[in-house]
Chains A and B, each alone.
Chain A
Amino acid sequence: MLIKEPDQIAPSEITPRSLFLRRREFVGAATGLVLSAALDPIATALAVEKPLAAAKSPLSTQEKATSLKDVTSYNNFYEFGTDKADPALHAHALKTRPWTISVEGLVKQPKTFSIDDLFKIGPLEERIYRLRCVEGWSMVIPWLGLPLANLLKTVEPLGSAKYVEFTSIADAKTMPGVARGMLDWPYIEGLRIDEAMHPLSLLAVGLYGEALPNQNGAPVRLVVPWKYGFKSSKSIVRIRFVEREPQSAWMKASSREYGFYSNVNPEVDHPRWSQATERRIGEFLKRKTLPFNGYADQVGQLYAGMDLKKNY
């Protein structure tokens, strides 16, 4: 009998799941080739699905990354439902191409960017970051993306701009959670401009060397590793420079529990549970949670003189 041991199959031989799930589209694409005409969007889709080339970043952690399976099956993405398994179940319906992000508000040059434009702005880097969820669990994720500042600078923000507001897609047709309510959709998040411009703030377009799976916020999401995970907006369609502190979806839902800053802080508990420890997904024992999720050296000065208990 010829049964191949699993370890004899090279990782490169396995069709990435994201590609496999879209196999019908590729058959369609092949047909499209023959029929010529509407070629361009398909070619773009194919280009993005290829393994992404990215430079390694010195900002990466050396810690062991959480398995791809856990990263892509245990998600909070309430637009697809409140259960951790919901995003992986439903997010395939989200149409991520064509996609545009408009960057607007208090800027000299408001612009609309395609995903390809983001690649051109780049440079694409692999950043292995810790992610700490407000619920008390954490992961280590090898993201692929570009520094958020690189995109923001291209529109030339005005001096009056103090904050940056991020709006995620809210499509009731493909997102069952949006149809059901719960939060005030679309999902809004915000950063102070210096936080947004900080070198650690990343605009991610992929993880584990491939395009972002839909459940992780495809095609483009924010990653702010020193803040609780919900600050890192997924599937972003609009970035707006504003003068006043934006009111986020979670602040609207419960301002007592979720503040604007939401920096990871073991000293400031969620009103209903402790934030002193966390469960790293894949580990048995709990870990101590670190101030600013272990990024205090890089970002601590952003909050110098601020009362972090008040500005939670």
Chain B
Amino acid sequence: MVWPLAITPGPRQLALLKIVLFAFCLLPLLQLGWNAWNENLGANPIEFITRALGTWTLNFLLITLSVTPLRKITGWHWLLRLRRMLGLYVFFYAFLHLTTYLWLDKFFDWQAIAKDILKRPFITIGMSAFALLLPLALTSNNTMLRRLGGKLWQRLHRAVYVIAILGVVHYWWLVKLNVTLPAVYAVLLALLLGIRVHWRDPQRKIRRQA
């Protein structure tokens, strides 16, 4: 499939695009900060902050996972050059989300935190997702990519699919009754993963034939 618009930014345009994207990805955090400054976070600000950061972690996860399908559909291969930053933003928001829980919710009461991780399935799952995300963030730079070698690096970074599933389950299990929003995330994720399976199959056949 080839998109009618063949756009390929030059190196300088791409650098500019990266700066713009970098700033754009900070907007949710700035908005949160602005609302906090204006005491506009409602009656339960800490819950609001935790949820907003969690939501944005999931949003960036889905955005990151859209890069490959979007690239295939549009033929804009340069989109791949933006993926690392998007992935790191997933980590950034996940880190802030976790920090809010550890600090503002639990005030570093490690005993209570350990109990939560062991006893609360949605927290167990959230923590696992973060634990899996950490090595991806640490190996995101070129040095680590070279050191690991492309194949191993790629295999490691496929953990993002598991992380995304864990992330959506984490959201689903914390909701009291109305699972509409978690279901929306689940459907979007299913589409993003499904399209990969769909695209992968014929390639496999070709490989087998060859």
Contact = CB atoms under 8 A, between A and B. Distances in A.
Interface of A: 69-70, 73-74, 78, 82, 84-85, 135, 137, 182-183, 253, 269, 272-274, 276-277, 279, 281-282, 284-286
Interface of B: 42-44, 46-47, 105, 107, 112, 115-116, 119-122, 173-174, 176-178
B44 A269 contact: no
A183 B43 contact: no
Contacts of A183: 177
B176 A269 contact: no
18 contacts: A73-B42, A74-B42, A84-B42, A84-B43, A84-B44, A85-B42, A253-B177, A269-B119, A272-B122, A272-B174, A273-B120, A274-B115, A274-B116, A274-B119, A274-B120, A279-B46, A281-B44, A285-B107
Nearest to A69: B43
Contact of B47 (A70, A78, A137, A277): A137
Contacts of A281: 43-44
A269 B115 CA distance: 12
B173 A70 contact: no
Contacts of A272: 120-122, 173-174
A72 B104 CA distance: 25
Contact of A286 (B107, B177, B178): B107
Contacts of B112: 274, 276-277
A253 B107 CA distance: 33
The 4 A-B residue pairs with the shortest CB-CB distance, nearest first, are: A74-B43, A82-B178, A70-B43, A281-B43
A274 B119 CA distance: 9
B90 to A, nearest CB: 25
A70 to B, nearest CB: 4
Contact of A135 (B105, B116, B121, B176): B176
A273 B106 CA distance: 13
Contacts of A284: 46
A135 to B, nearest CB: 7
Contacts of A286: 105, 107
B44 A279 contact: yes
Contacts of B115: 274
A286 B177 CA distance: 24
A69 B44 CA distance: 12
B177 A82 contact: yes
A182 B44 contact: no
Nearest to B176: A135
Contacts of B122: 272
B173 to A, nearest CB: 6
Given A74-B43, A281-B43, 9 more contacts: A70-B43, A82-B177, A135-B176, A137-B47, A272-B122, A277-B112, A284-B46, A285-B107, A286-B105
Given A274-B116, A285-B107, A286-B107, A137 B44 contact: yes
Contacts of B119: 269, 274
A69 B42 CA distance: 9
Contacts of A73: 42-43
A84 B122 CA distance: 21
- Residue of B43, B47, B112 most packed against chain A (CB within 10 A): B43
B52 to A, nearest CB: 14
A253 B178 CA distance: 11
A160 to B, nearest CB: 35
